[in-house]
Amino acid sequence: MTDAPRTAPGPVAAADVTVDGTGLLCVALLLRLRAAIAEVEPGTVVQVIATDPAAPLDLPAWCHMTGHHYLGAVHEGPDGSVHALRLSADARPTRPDAPWRADRPSADTER
């Protein structure tokens, strides 16, 4: 068995937006990702550069939670990975300060 970098099977659409999370833990990476896609149109392909070893688990989980489409790892190697996702028109909103949590209206906004 070799340690060759893994890539996603089949072609992945070219990125419309790239989010560089080099050197960031997933918490900061998700904050950066959420901010970067806040005003981006549904259907946009986003590539995320990550060096946190948890990213290959956290990014698909975040996409599942939000409703965005995780397209897979474009590249995985010893220095990090690149992941692709497609933004969904019906994505579930997340909290600006905690994008790993659903954004639910507070009691103040429900009145």
* pLDDT, tens digit, 9 for 90 and up, residues 14-27: 789 999 999 999 99
pLDDT in tens, 91-104: 999 888 888 888 87
Distance CA 91, CA 44 (A): 13
Higher pLDDT, 87 or 6: 87
pLDDT in tens, 17-68: 999 999 999 999 999 999 999 999 999 999 999 999 999 999 999 999 999 9
Average pLDDT, the chain: 86
Amino acid identity of residue 78, one-letter, is P
Whether 63 is catalytic is no
Helical H segments across the chain, by residue range: 26-37, 55-66
Q: What is the DSSP letter of 9?
A: S
Q: Which residue among 26, 29, 37, 82 is the active-site one?
A: 26
Distance CA 97, CA 41 (A): 21
pTM exceeds 0.95, yes or no: no
